[in-house]
Structure 1
């Protein structure tokens, strides 16, 4: 029924559940997951900046990590434009069968905009749209706490000489902590709601 599932993401907490739902549906039907992040432009959006573009890349990379863990095919795309227009255009151009979106984005003005984006996509899309609302509270809000949990996770899995190689960053209610251990680089994923961790990415030639 579904061959291509689109998950628009802005990297905010509100997309956490939509990612989970989207991957569950994709796994059920063996569908390819398309992760799309739109850097807004225009009078009410945020003009494209290096920081905004990098945040968008991290957002789609977060989805890609989850799809790899689920052994699903994934396509990641970052574009600039009017969010609902870009989402609808992407769906038309890539034979998308289903769109899965969060109804709550970042705080302040962006939160209002994200809600408006979802509403417009629901009204205008030619394919089914599943909307998912964030209900979980974020518990891990401090980067240092995420770093400590990441170190603990790596040590629990048998890694030694665990050191930091970058600053933790949070996207989609998850912390991504770059570490190095046993002479290899890795990224540890810490769930900001549950505090649970796992090795999300490691070098291919790693020999534990």
Structure 2
């Protein structure tokens, strides 16, 4: 019934539940998840900073990592354009069977913008649209706390020689903490809501 499921993500807390829902649906129907992040473009041009594109890339990479953990096929894309128009175009061009979207962004203006984009997609999309509302509060919003949890988790799983390989970053309510260990590089994913953590092994392990 569903072969291709689109999950737009901006890396904000409001997309966390939509990612979870999208992956669960994909797993149920053995479908492919399409993680799409958009660098917004308005009437006056592209609304981006130097960090906009790297942030968008991290957002889709986070979805791909979660999909890999769940055994779900995933493809990623970063586009520039008007968000709702770009999502609709992507859905048409890739024969998307379902779109799963959050109804809230981070706070303030983001919350309004994400809600507005979702509303337009619901009205205009040919494919079914599943909307997911964020209800959990972020509990771990400090990089140092995330690093501490990551180190403890890695140590409990038998990793030694722990050193921070790069700065932790958070997308979709999940901290990703890169560590160097005696066994090689690992990424520890820390859920910013629950505090639960897991170790994602590096490519050579």
TM-score bin (small chain): over 0.9
Deviations 1:86-118 (A, max 9, x none): 000000000100000000012222221111000
1:71 and 2:71 equivalent? yes
**For 1:19-38, what aligned pairs fall within 5 Å after superposition?**
19-38=19-38
1:85 Cα offset (Å): 0.4
Q: Secondary structure at the match of 2:42?
A: coil
Matched, 1:121 2:109: no
Paired residue for 1:109? 109
What is the CA deviation profile of residues 8-42 of structure 1, one whole-angstrom value per residue up to 9, with x for unaligned ones? Answer: 00000000100000000000000000000000011
Q: What is the distance in 1 between the residues matched to 2:82 and 2:166?
A: 32
Matches of 1:189 and 1:71 in 2, distance apart? 16
Kindly indicate whether residue 185 of structure 2 is the aligned counterpart of residue 185 of structure 1: yes
Structure-2-length-normalised TM-score: 0.97
State the distance in 2 between where 1:150 and 1:46 align: 36
Contact 1:48 1:80 in 2 (8 A): no
Give the structure 1 partner of residue 195 of structure 2: 195
Q: Which residue of 2 aligns with 1:12?
A: 12
Say if 2:46 and 2:81, in contact at 8 Å, map to a contact too. Answer: no
Residue range with higher mean Cα deviation, 182-191 or 29-38: 182-191
Tell me by how many angstroms 1:44 deviates: 8.3
Deviation at 1:47, TM superposition (A): 1.4
1:144 alignment counterpart: 144
User: Taking structure 1 as the reference length, what is the TM-score of the superposition?
Assistant: 0.95
Query: Which segment is superposed worse, 127-136 or 106-115?
Result: 106-115
| Distance change in 2, residues 1:123/1:45 (3 Å) | farther
Contact 1:10 1:59 in 2 (8 A): yes
Structure 1 runs of 4+ aligned residues shifted over 3 Å read: 43-46
Secondary structure in 1 aligned to 2:148? helix
Alignment partners' CA distance in 2, 1:33 and 1:70: 11
